[in-house]
Amino acid sequence: MRQNAVKIAPSILAANFARLGEQVAEAERCGADRIHVDGMDGHFVPNISMGAPIVKSLRHVTRLPLETHLMISDPDFCFDEFVEAGSDSFIVHWEGNNNLHRTIHRVKDLGKRVGLAINSATPAAVLEEVLPDLDLVLVMTVNPGFGHQHFIHSTLPKIQRVRRMIQQVRPECELELDGGIDESTDPLAVAAGANVLVAGTSVFGCSQGIETAMRRLREATK
Ligand code: DX5
Ligand code: ZN
């Protein structure tokens, strides 16, 4: 199968939950590379979203990797449940985690890919000690908790810094951006060094449909 240089990860936070299976299957047909599932606990972020049962249901409708972005206070407690449901990778946050090394190695021990997310105000330097252990770094380009927010442009220099760190220490590590990605911000994201783009509203909220949305994102990426 052809590998896209820049991967698109539609975020189901913006999907119509009454038609979730159909919409995810359509995103797959239209060239999505993975599906981004946002778990929120109403504590780490001021919103509650979805848990392992959603992953379990989606596992039956798509063959794409299901990446689980955990915006929750104690991610270590729920890995087993998500693994059983079918998650292929986990993205945990640097913020608020006093035992990050343990968390990262717990995911690796489960045989899953591990990503570390940093919020828009968190410096790139915090990645230094853990980068050799990571499969992915996710830079938040909005404040976590909600879809349909504006891309924070002041994150761009940091994204470039993260790209340089990755090239020096672990070139195979992916650099993903999450929040406010659409056809206007997509080229900025790629120019700054991102190679995975999460897109919620611009895919599932597109009035002309998922196919048009995915085509526009791909064209903006070229
Ligand atoms: C926000 C979530 C994002 C969200 C992005 O906290 O982590 O994944 O779904 O949504 P859009 O693409 O609408 O900014
Ligand atoms: Zn996310």
Output the CA 132–ligand 2 centroid distance in Å: 22
Q: Are 177 and 158 in contact (CB under 8 A)?
A: no
pTM of the model: 0.97
Residues marked as catalytic: 38, 178
* pLDDT tier at 130, thresholds 50, 70, 90: very high
175 secondary structure, DSSP code: E
- Does the beta carbon of 150 sit less than 6 angstroms from any atom of ligand 1? no
Above 50 in pLDDT, residue 169?
yes
If one residue of 41, 67, 146 were mutated to test the ligand 1 pocket, choosing by the most ligand atoms within 8 A of its CB, it would be 146
Say if residue 153 is exposed, middle or buried (CB neighbours under 10 Å; 0-12, 13-18, 19+).
Answer: exposed
150-159 pLDDT tens trace = 999 999 999 9
Query: What tokens were used for 138?
Result: 């996710």
The per-residue pLDDT for range 37-90, each reduced to its tens digit, is 999 999 999 999 999 999 999 999 999 999 999 999 999 999 999 999 999 999
The pLDDT value given to residue 181: 98
Specify whether the CB–CB gap between 206 and 212 falls below 8 A: yes
Cβ of 10 below 6 Å from ligand 1: no
Give 199 Cα–ligand 1 centroid separation in angstroms.
7
Q: Which of 53, 6, 11 is nearest to 140 (CA)?
A: 11
SS3 assignment, position 211: helix
Give the pLDDT score at 1: 47
The H or E element containing residue 74 is none
